[in-house]
Chain A
Amino acid sequence: MVLLVTSDNEQFQTEKDIVERSVLIKNMLEDVGESDQPIPLPNVSSSVLKKVTQPSTGPTEIDVRGRYLSTASTTVESPSRPPILEQSQDETRKRTTDISEWDQKFITVDQEMLFEIILAANYLDIKSLLCRRWLQDGSQHDQGARPPEEIRKLFNIVNDFTPEEEAQIKKENEWAEDR
């Protein structure tokens, strides 16, 4: 067992093999050797650490990439989605079956928590936890990225393209909108 101390001074007793998913902690453990000293994690809050270190119910490889973040429902189409972002039946079905129960539980966190997890995961060097959830529609029946306008609105990003520049980018990739 390893003792971790979070930014809000909460102590965690965690299995060694779970915390060793984190490259940072693994290196720290190697540095200190066998020791009862608590490991401080000044960038990680206790609520986030709980998510990051969720034990064995998770996938054996924590590298589930963005996969678990594509939420799945084949029955409801989001009406706001432009037709170009709709996915083929096959793809949708594949994703639906791909998502494990653990994955589904994992994504039931709010937006703010997701950003904290991204930061914590980056700090702890668990790259696989980085996710694209926040680029997607929050609704259950989402299947693709939000349109650019929505992403801008959501994150207060100013559209600094001229209409001509925007049109040029669209022109290059327009072929891929057809399916």
Chain B
Amino acid sequence: MSESQDEVISTPELLELTLSHLPIRDLLLTAPLVCKTWLAITRTPALQRILFFEPDPSPRAACTHNPLLAQNVKDIKSMPWSRVPDAFNRPEASWRRMLVSQPPPQKTLVREIARWRGGVFERRAVVDGPLRMGALYDIILPLVDCRESAFCVRWHRDGDESDITLAAVYANPSLKPRIRVLDDEFYTVPIKLKNDLEFGKWGPCTVF
């Protein structure tokens, strides 16, 4: 090994800088497997931010969506569960810890909207803290799985009351689940759905 190679490899700051220029997929999949030192370097704050594991505090003009999640999880209904269900469903799978964007939404508004007896009603829940994909998944799945519903995600700009809104729209809240849309298509192992959200009371829906 040459002298300059040796110096770059053995200087954590230089190695960190060099790794920071790797494509995110290689930084996630390849770099941590080389040795313990490299693993430790992928866990520095700078690289954790690049990997969407830690929120980036530096102000920036535009929000970047997590490209790995965008590639692998185009929308919640096309997650490739059926191809590698184990890799996705295991609790330690790293996608669960990944932020959905950088900087991440700090305030998530969840709205359930129902058309019911000639009126439109809604109830709301708010989730504080940086939004990670695992939490997003846990919030969304029960909403879209329970009833006939349409679902939408809206990203907000500065000045709105929340950074991101997740809204489920039901045809009729009193309907018992008729179709469990996600059953066979989206995961092969039945998982227990949890929805710990504390919703407010149903009320008239003002903004639709």
Which residues of A approach B to under 8 Å, CB–CB? Answer: 65-66, 69-70, 84-85, 88, 111-112, 115-116, 118-119, 122, 127, 130-132, 134-135, 144-148, 151-152, 155-161, 166, 168-179
- Residue among A122, A134, A159, A170 with the highest chain B CB neighbour number at 10 A: A122
Q: What are 21 A-B contacts defined by CB distance under 8 Å?
A: A85-B26, A122-B17, A130-B18, A131-B21, A132-B21, A132-B22, A134-B5, A135-B18, A135-B19, A145-B23, A146-B30, A148-B34, A155-B5, A157-B38, A161-B33, A169-B33, A173-B94, A176-B95, A177-B84, A178-B72, A178-B87
**Chain B contacts of A65 at CB under 8 A?**
21
B87 partner, pick from A85, A157, A175, beta carbons under 8 A:
A175
The answer to whether A157 and B94 touch (CB under 8 A), given A84-B29, A115-B4, is no
Interface pair A130/B22, CB less than 8 Å apart? no
Distance in angstroms from B60 CB to nearest chain A CB is: 15
B2 partner, pick from A115, A159, A166, beta carbons under 8 A:
A115
Distance in angstroms from B5 CB to nearest chain A CB is: 5
- Residue among B5, B36, B95 with the highest chain A CB neighbour number at 10 A: B5
- Residue among A65, A158, A173 with the highest chain B CB neighbour number at 10 A: A173
Interface pair A130/B94, CB less than 8 Å apart? no
Interface pair B22/A135, CB less than 8 Å apart? yes
**Chain B contacts of A156 at CB under 8 A?**
1
- In angstroms, Cα B18 to Cα A132, docked, is 6
For B94, give the chain A residue with the smallest CB separation. A172
Interface pair A151/B34, CB less than 8 Å apart? yes
B39 within 8 A of A: yes
For A168, give the chain B residue with the smallest CB separation. B92
- In angstroms, Cα B19 to Cα A144, docked, is 13
- In angstroms, Cα B23 to Cα A146, docked, is 12
**Chain B contacts of A135 at CB under 8 A?**
18-19, 22, 26
Chain B interface SS verdict (over half): helix
**Chain B contacts of A115 at CB under 8 A?**
2, 4-5, 7-8
B135 within 8 A of A: no
Interface pair A157/B35, CB less than 8 Å apart? yes
Interface pair B9/A176, CB less than 8 Å apart? no
- In angstroms, Cα B93 to Cα A119, docked, is 36
The answer to whether A160 and B36 touch (CB under 8 A), given A176-B28, A177-B29, is yes
Distance in angstroms from B32 CB to nearest chain A CB is: 5
Interface pair A161/B93, CB less than 8 Å apart? no
B80 within 8 A of A: yes
- In angstroms, Cα B10 to Cα A104, docked, is 28
Interface pair A169/B32, CB less than 8 Å apart? yes
Interface pair B34/A152, CB less than 8 Å apart? yes
